[in-house]
Amino acid sequence: MSIQVRNISKRFGETTVLDNVNLTVHSGELIALLGPSGSGKTTLLRIIAGMERADTGTVLLDGHESLTQNAGARRVGFVFQHYALFKHMSVFENVAFGLRVRPKKERLSDKEIHRKVMQLLALVHLDKFHDRHPSQLSGGQRQRVALARALAVEPKLLLLDEPFGALDAKVRKELRRWMRRLHDEIHVTSIFVTHDQEEAMEVADRVVVMSNGRIEQVGSPGDVYHQPANSFVYDFLGNYNVFEGWKDTEGKTHLLEYETREEDSSPPPAPTAPSGWMKRYPEITGLLHKILPSLVPGVPSLLPPPKKKPRPTPNQGKPIKLFARPHELFVAKTPDDHEYVLATVTHINPAGPLVKIEMERRNGAALTAEVPKEVIDMLSISKNDQIYVRPKNTRIFEGG
Amino acid sequence: MIKSASYTIEPLFMRLLLSLIAILFIGIFVALPLSVVFAEALSKGWRAYMDALMTEDARSAIKLTLLVAAIAVPCNVVFGLAASWAITKFEFVGKRLLITLIDLPFSVSPVISGLIYVLLFGTGSVLGGWLEEHNLQIIFAVPGLVIATIFVTFPFVARELIPLMEEQGTEAEEAAVMLGANGWQTFWHVTLPNIKWGLFYGVLLCNARAMGEFGAVSVVSGHIRGLTTTLPLHVEILYNEYNFAAAFAVASLLTMLALFTLLLKSIIEYYFPHEVKAF
């Protein structure tokens, strides 16, 4: 089922929960509505479900106005964060509910209902628990019952409101992988709400990032992560560092305050490869400087002299903010020609595939870098060390 | 551990003293009157006791009481369910006002509420004149008793169900609707099973009050013997005629109803502590 959300706005009293939201979901897609709490994602889901009424705008399901039909006819399955199972009914009866409440002429026979319910319970690996009551199941099992119950009415659209929100971390991971596989099997158009960016990235075909009642960006997990539309999306999808910087006339970005290799000190350091091929092959240049004088006196003057790198000065342009993810930081014990900031290591967390280094700059700003373990070992970085840090990659967002 | 606990609780003599005060209080104000009722009722022997309950007037009073309760209680079940369903599952204008109105009978003296109906339906009023023209008798007749009883007892079911249903929320109902259930199916298969013990509890209290109501009923009844006297009114009549043994015999019936209600109430509270909101 395809969904078109058109100009949906919704207010609760003084607060605007949804502000002119437009969204198109294609048939068979698995979409994540991702955002912090209060971003309006659950309200949007409930409006699509028909449980909540929008102040303005329409929702078209397969091109039809959704609210003119009743819930049963719309064939929309809904899974609640806290399961909302019927606690006085067995697992079997919970799943059978949607089939039993159909009008008599559309209702399946008891035998068919039994067969279908057991089939669904097998799909969610709960066939052995059919006569249990919800209170006798774990959270993950309850959520699977809720899913089977929603699937029983053969929905053309499945809506899930923070489906894994009430589960512990491990079960949550298992269940969301399982849900992804299930979706690949049954291909029902699905929208799920989550505030967990990892969950959205891992499960969804496309991610809809929301904040303050607006859609900030819609895209594949890769797009949203690597080409965030604005600083909100960038911020929401992971940790980051901010550097003060500026843009020179060529559009190159520079750090506002930085350290670099000390060139003014005497004696001058080994020749700096200046330009062209010599820059590209510094080892050859070095070698030439070393061996040529001994072979041919006077030749060194033919070589380009070691030139001091001009220290760029900030132009009149506005200072800008440069953003970089922790894994985009490069750390060193001694600076080279790049622009570095100096920071003191405040904490090292070696748990995980990358070692996390917490640092503080002299101006008090905190930095976080994630670097491979070998780098730490090689540089033998430890707490309270002064190290040089530079962003390998930065991003600028209009308006901060 | 045991020693440390003694720092946090009252000393022994204080505990004993407090318990003693409580027991004495209940003894004087509850147990003693209760035993007096039964002692007085049986003071002229078992035969006289049975005779008092078997007189024409007593039997018609029992029938009338059962009839009034049999009409008033179902009315209040329907009203209470409808009101609490509306209040807890929907948002609408005037919700606060409705909740306040439901509480009204608790705060108005029953005699006043009886009086209001006399003024409303009595011969002097506009409505009363119209009713008289159409030969409809409400005041000093059974309909008046029923109306007064409904008014006095209508908070019981609603008051019991509102907090319970509020706590249970609307998710289960939403789930049912999303699965295609209509309003009636949702109520019958999802809402009702979750509130059945709370509802039963409310009905129990409502019934006890309906059968035992005196004030409002007394005003609208007119005390026509054998026709408009319910059990409490019959007790009053017998008592005013210095027929103490008979008065207490009838009163003992009401007392037994009260004890039975209390027993059921305690059983429900013990076995379904989460499904009722104790008053």
Residues A177-193 pLDDT 10s: 888 988 998 889 999 99
pLDDT at A336 (0 to 100): 83
CB pairs under 8 A between A and B: 62
Contact A86 B178 (CB under 8 A): no
Looking at beta carbons, which residues of chain A come within 8 Å of B187? none
Which own/partner contact pairs does A357-361 have at CB distance under 8 Å and 24+ positions apart? A357/A331, A357/A381, A359/A387, A359/A389
As a whole number of Å, the CA-based R_g of chain B is 23
Q: Is the dihedral of CA B159, B160, B162, B167 positive or negative?
A: positive
Q: How is B206-231 classified by DSSP, letter by letter?
A: HHHHHHH--HHHHHHH---TTTT--H
Q: What is the pLDDT of residue A272?
A: 47
Q: Are B246 and B234 in contact (CB under 8 A)?
A: no
Q: Among B89, B170, B171, B178, which would you mutate to test the A interface (most chain A Cβ atoms within 10 Å of its Cβ)?
A: B178
What is the pLDDT, as a whole number, of residue A263?
A: 55
The per-residue pLDDT for A280 is 57
Per-chain mean pLDDT for chain B: 88
pLDDT of residue B175: 93
CB atoms within 10 A of CB A85: 24
What pLDDT was estimated at residue B22? 94
Confidence at residue A292, expressed as pLDDT on a 0 to 100 scale: 56
Tell me what pLDDT residue B71 has: 96
Work out the pLDDT band at A260, boundaries 50, 70, 90.
confident
Instruction: Decide if pLDDT at B149 tops 90.
Output: yes
Minimum mean pLDDT among A259-263, B139-143, B170-174: which range?
Answer: A259-263
Query: How far from chain centre, in Å, is Cα B111?
Result: 16
Report which of residues B96 and A319 the model is more confident about. B96
How many whole angstroms separate alpha carbon B166 and alpha carbon B158? 12
The 10 Å CB-count burial string (b at 16+, else e) for A30-62 is: bbbbbbeeebbbbbbbbbbbbbbebeebebebe
Cβ–Cβ contact A87 with B under 8 A: yes
Q: Which residues face A259 on adjacent strands?
A: A340
Q: Is the separation of the CB atoms in B277 and B164 below 8 Å?
A: yes
- Nearest-Cα distance to chain A for B74, in Å, is 25
Say how many Å lie between the first and final Cα of chain B, rounded: 36
Q: Which residue of A has its CA nearest to B185?
A: A101
Cβ <8 Å between B180 and A98: yes
**Residue in B98, B96, B90, B93 with CA at minimum distance from that of residue B170:** B90
Task: Report which residue type is found at B219.
Answer: V
For residue A84, which residues of chain B lie inside 8 Å, CB to CB? Answer: 171-172, 174-175
Joined together, the tokens standing for residue A216 give 């900030």
Q: In sequence order, which residues have a C-beta less than 8 Å from that of residue A42 and are 6 or more positions away? A: A161, A162, A193
Does A149 score more than 70 pLDDT? Answer: yes
Nearest Cα residue to A216 out of A388, A74, A19, A64? A19
- Whether A80 has its CB under 8 Å from any CB of chain B: the answer is yes
Q: Are A251 and A230 spatial neighbours (Cβ–Cβ below 8 Å)?
A: no
Smallest CA-to-CA distance from B191 within B173, B178, B174 is with B173
CA–CA dist A74, A104 (Å, integer): 18
Chain B CB contacts of A77 under 8 Å are: 178
pLDDT digits (tens, 9 = 90+) for A300-339: 445 554 444 455 565 556 788 889 999 999 998 888 888 8
Q: Which of these ranges, A148-157, A293-302, B204-213, B222-231, has the smallest mean pLDDT?
A: A293-302
Segment A365-384 shows an average pLDDT of 88
Chain A CB contacts of B179 under 8 Å are 71-72, 97-98, 101, 149-150, 152-153
pLDDT at residue A194 tops 90: yes
| Torsion angle defined by CA atoms of residues A268, A273, A275 and A278, in that order, rounded to the nearest 10 degrees | 140
Residue A6 has pLDDT above 50, yes or no: yes
Structure-token pair, residue A312: 């760029």
State the pLDDT at residue A179: 87
CA proximity to B157, closest of B86, B77, B75: B77
Confidence bin at A115 (pLDDT 50/70/90)? very high
pLDDT at B224: 83
A283 pLDDT exceeds 70? no
pLDDT at A277: 54
Give the helix ranges, DSSP H, for B55-141: 56-89, 95-107, 110-121, 126-133
Best-predicted range by mean pLDDT (A374-383, B8-17, B148-157): B148-157
Residue A267 CA: distances (Å) to CA of A287, A336, B122: 19, 17, 118
Given a cut of 80, is residue A290 above it in pLDDT?
A: no
DSSP labels, B159-172: HHHHHHHHHH-SHH
CB < 8 Å from B in window 303-362 of A: none
Q: Quick check: B193 and A82 CB within 8 A?
A: no
pLDDT at A72 over 80: no
Tokens of A165: 């929100």
**CA A223 from centroid of its chain's CA atoms:** 10
Per-residue confidence at A26, pLDDT binned at 50, 70, 90? very high
> Is the model's pLDDT at A349 over the cut of 80?
yes
Span A34-55, mean pLDDT? 91
Using CA of residue A127, residue A129, residue A132, residue A133, what is the dihedral sign? negative
Average pLDDT over residues A77-97: 93
Q: Give pLDDT, residue A144.
A: 92
Which residues of A fall within a CB distance of 8 Å from B175? Answer: 78, 80, 84-86, 146, 149
Place of tokens 């009315």: B75
pLDDT at B150: 94
A71 vs A157 pLDDT, higher one: A157
* Closest chain A residue to B178, measured at CA: A71
- Contact flag A86-B175 (C-beta cutoff 8 Å): yes
Chain A residues inside the 8 Å CB shell of B183: none
The model's confidence at residue A174, banded by pLDDT at 50, 70 and 90, is: confident
Q: How far apart are CA A256 and CA A317, in angstroms?
A: 12
Alpha-carbon dihedral B146, B148, B150, B152, rounded to 10 degrees: -150
Percent of chain B predicted with pLDDT > 90:
49
Asked if the Cβ–Cβ distance from B194 to A87 is below 8 Å, we say: yes
Contact B81, B157 (CB under 8 A): yes
Q: Compute CA distances B48 → A10, A140, B41, B45, B53, whole Å.
A: 74, 68, 9, 6, 9
Mutate to test the interface with A, among B164, B179, B182 (most CBs of A within 10 A): B179
Chain segment A242-254, per-residue pLDDT in tens: 888 888 777 788 8
Please give the Cα distance from B143 to B150 (Å, whole number): 10
CA distances from B194 to A145, A150, A372, B86 (A): 19, 21, 56, 16
pLDDT attached to residue B244: 87
pLDDT at A204 over 90: yes
Q: Is the preceding omega at residue A267 within 30 degrees of 0, hence cis? A: yes
Chain center to CA of A137: 32
- Closest partner residue to B178 (CB to CB) among A49, A88, A102 is A49
Nearest to B204 by CA among B244, B132, B261: B261
State CA A25 to chain mean position distance.
Answer: 20
Q: Is the pLDDT of residue A264 over 60?
A: no
Give me the pLDDT at residue B145, please. 92
What are the tens digits of pLDDT across the range B34-82? Answer: 899 999 888 888 898 998 888 999 999 999 999 999 999 999 999 999 9
| pLDDT at res. A130 | 93
For B180, the closest of A51, A71, A87 (CB atoms) is A71
pLDDT surpasses 90 at A212: yes
Q: How far is B10 from chain A (nearest CA, A)?
A: 40
Nearest to A329 by CA among A245, A396, A253, A241: A241
Does A165 lie at the interface with B, CB-CB under 8 angstroms?
Answer: no
* The pLDDT value given to residue B272: 83
A397 at interface of B, judged by CB pairs closer than 8 A: no
Interchain pair B181, A80: CB under 8 A: no
Across chain A, mean pLDDT equals 84
Which chain A residue lies closest to B172 (C-alpha atoms)? A84
In the predicted model, is pLDDT for residue A4 greater than 60? yes
| Token pair for B110 | 């029953």
Amino acid identity, position A121: L
Contacting A with CB below 8 Å, chain B residues are 171-172, 174-182, 185, 189-190, 193-194
> Is A118 buried (19+), middle (13-18) or exposed (0-12) by CB count in 10 A?
middle
Res A39 pLDDT > 60: yes
pLDDT above 80 for A353: yes
CB A143 within 8 A of CB A178: no
- Rounded to whole angstroms, the Cα distance separating B56 from B226 reads 7
Quote the CA–CA distance of A388 and A258 in Å, as a whole number.
Answer: 10
Both structure tokens of A223: 């797009």
* Nearest neighbour of A84 by CB, restricted to B172, B182, B185: B172
Counting beta carbons within 10 angstroms of the beta carbon of residue A91, is it exposed (0 to 12), middle (13 to 18) or buried (19 or more)? Answer: buried
Q: At what angle do helices B244-271 and B45-54 cross, to 10 degrees?
A: 80
Contact A345, A331 (CB under 8 A): no
Q: How confident is the model at residue A294 (pLDDT cuts 50, 70, 90)?
A: low
Look up residue A168 and give its two tokens. Answer: 């512990």
A255 pLDDT band, cuts 50/70/90, is confident
